[in-house]
Structure 1
């Protein structure tokens, strides 16, 4: 069952594709649905993907396919009309860019107001933000100084996941999460650095790594 906004967005995309064969931009979708930000559009797109109405094409950057329209609209179509194949729509979404995060020694967590344009196909379900990596302690995981870490918001983590951990409510770091008895161990991916150990009440998980964006 789709929410009203999900239903409106799907019909709007389908209508635009029928008219021109080109998907509306995230800005156009935001304005059409009277949303406050593009992140709201992204959440609706993710929900539609989870419900099987659209999907991201895995091998085509920034591409979406409309797989079906709501049942009420489908039922209204004559049974002898051949349905058109799914159409691809390219788009980029802007996600919040929250400053720099240490991949070495923890640094103060910055909350910036900038945004970073990211191919929508790189992002899965959920709400995301980006952090610029500072340091070299995660190089053995392929995370380099100057990369943009794409983070999916979550407050939980499992052993072995790379997370953004907020330490003592003031510093953030990007590390591999491990539980060690009653302690939390944050592991670097560089033999030059030692693991960091904290009490559970010192750590707040603010997200986990969903992808990387590198500029050359």
Structure 2
């Protein structure tokens, strides 16, 4: 079963593709669902992809394909957002440039993940949700979890854990964390940072660097949204 927001986003994407042949931008989806941050759209897309309703097409901007529509129970339960145009009666999946790409078999023993912007390891930067590329990682080298996405590390605040500026961090999507986990945390719905997560009682959350040159950041629980847990670090030489 889909949540209301997942259903509304799926209907909006499907209607926009059928109308224009191009999937909507993250900003358009954010406005259609009345969300404050593009990170919420990213989580909804990851959930729809995990459930097999959509897929992201590699090496193309704004490239989403709708694979299936909700069942009748979900259609009856939820209404589409007012910003979404009415869906056509017949379901005809469309993709960017008006053609369906050739089917590509998954790589054996590999995990594929979209590379999404950059995450700060130091001073937080504005979260970016644009997909730069799709990457493949050896499954035997990755912590179990998923679905996955990848982020470029910027800064040196996690250097004592061997995480360097320019590394690619593979992240297992999750909205919860335990004390001691290295997480991607969205601070104030606008900025993302890679830090070690610790709870301090019920009143505060600490985001700890792994570099004595940086200070631990303390926030109220409502200021921090967990975006995922570190599953692996990859580096090019």
Q: 1:170, 1:119 → 2: CA distance?
A: 31
Q: SS at the partner of 1:201? A: helix
Once residues 181 and 145 of structure 2 are traced to their aligned partners in structure 1, the CA distance between those partners, rounded to angstroms, is 17
Count of residue correspondences: 135
C-alpha separation between the residues in 2 aligned to 1:90 and 1:177? 33
Distance (Å, rounded) in 2 between the aligned partners of 1:211 and 1:129 = 11
Structure 2 match to 1:165: 185
**How is 1:63-78 mapped onto 2 (pairs within 5 angstroms)?**
none
Matched with 2:235 is: 214
**Rg bigger for which structure?**
1
Q: Distance in 2 between the 1:102 and 1:156 partners?
A: 20
CA contact (8 A) 2:147 2:173 kept: yes
The one of 138, 147, 165 equivalent to 1:119 is 138
**TM-score, normalised with respect to structure 1:** 0.58
Instruction: Answer yes or no: is 1:175 the counterpart of 2:177.
Output: no
Give deviations 1:98-151, integer Å, cap 9, x for gaps: 111100011011112222222233332321000000000000011000110010
SS at match of 2:174: coil
Do residues 109 (structure 1) and 130 (structure 2) align? Answer: no
Q: Which runs of 5+ in 2 are unaligned?
A: 1-51, 59-106
CA contact (8 A) 1:38 1:93 kept: no
Tell me, yes or no, if structure 1 residue 201 matches structure 2 residue 222. Answer: yes
How far apart are 1:34 and its partner, in Å?
11
Runs of 4+ in 1 over 4 A off after TM superposition: none
Cα displacement (A) at 1:90:
4.0
Any conservation in 2 of the 1:132–1:149 contact (CA below 8 Å)? yes
Structure 1 stretch 93-102 or stretch 115-124: which is displaced more?
A: 115-124
Larger strand fraction of residues = 1
The 8 Å contact of residues 38 and 94 in structure 1, kept in 2 or not, is answered as: no
Q: Is the 8 A contact 2:112 2:148 kept in 1?
A: no
The alpha carbon displacement at 1:198 in A equals 0.6
For 2:160, what is the secondary structure of its paired residue? helix
User: SS where residue 219 of structure 2 aligns?
Assistant: strand
- CA deviation map 1:143-178 (0-9, x unaligned): 000110010001111111100000010000000001
The verdict on how the C-alpha distance between 1:196 and 1:36 changes in structure 2, with shifts beyond 3 A counting, is closer
**Contact conserved, 2:206 with 2:216, CA < 8 A, in 1?**
yes
What's 1:191 paired with? 212
Q: What per-residue deviation string (whole Å, max 9, x for no partner) do you get for residues 166-207 of structure 1?
A: 001000000000111311110000000000011100000000
Rounded Cα–Cα distance in structure 2 between residues aligned with 1:125 and 1:179: 22
Structure 1 stretches of 5 or more lacking a match? 1-32, 40-88
Contact 2:118/2:151 (8 A) holds in 1 = yes
Question: How far, CA to CA, are the matches of 2:57 and 2:111 in structure 1?
Answer: 7
